[in-house]
Amino acid sequence: MLYSSHTSPYGIKSMREINTDIDMDTDTGTDTDVEKVIQILKKRYRAGSSLLMAPATRGDPFLTLISCLLSLRTRDEVTSKAAERLFSLAKTPEAMLKLRIDDIESAIYPVGFYHRKAKQIVEICSTLVERYNSKVPDELAELLKLRGVGRKTANIVLTIGYNKPGIAVDTHVHRISNRMGIVATKNPNETEFALRRVVPERNWLILNELFVLHGRSVCTPLSPRCSICPVYQYCKRIGVTRSR
């Protein structure tokens, strides 16, 4: 029996419960399916209530940008405490530039590469003050000109900081999109462009949050929990050789 008939320890609804919530058809691989997957995951994870980014940083592009930089190769709990300590000292590029680099390092320790990240924060703040009138740019191309800012961070600044369309692709989004057969890509950059083509723009903002939540709790990297997955019916399970 593939699907459990009761709610899992993770609070994941069984397929029977999901089926009563949403009409499903049996087609696969269409744009409509992407829409349905998003609907199901929205219901499941109540996205927006389980925020990936602390509420204080939402709607503030500068805090979003700095939080993203801190989060690279660092666990969420460590990142959020480090961000809290740093933002208690400075919340704008100008205020950040008044801090000594040692103060920034102490505030963000023990995030990964804290020494390098402190330097990067100072460089980015200088660029923002000198070239962008102290404002974080709201264009992808401009964001990518900032030192060390890649497409994922730039898209998160656009979506979380500016509430503008963007698709931030991290390891979860890349893995799940390919497993499901929504895209067939080799790396996160390709995935971002492919998703932009197949996912309706109205769903771009929520996609990252949904797939990250799904990737952490159900569609895990090594052995996904397909037996309790609410979107099993829409998944081609490409490359999945072992599952629970």
Residues that bind ligand SF4 (CB under 6 A): 176, 179-180, 218-219, 224-226, 229, 231-232, 235, 237, 240, 243
Shortest distance, CB of residue 37 to ligand SF4, whole angstroms? 8
Shortest distance, CB of residue 172 to ligand SF4, whole angstroms? 10
- C-beta closer to ligand SF4: residue 87 or 232: 232
Catalytic machinery residues? 152, 170
Shortest distance, CB of residue 229 to ligand SF4, whole angstroms? 3
- C-beta closer to ligand SF4: residue 63 or 210: 210
The closest of 40, 11, 7, 41 to 25, measured between CA atoms, is 40
- C-beta closer to ligand SF4: residue 44 or 117: 44
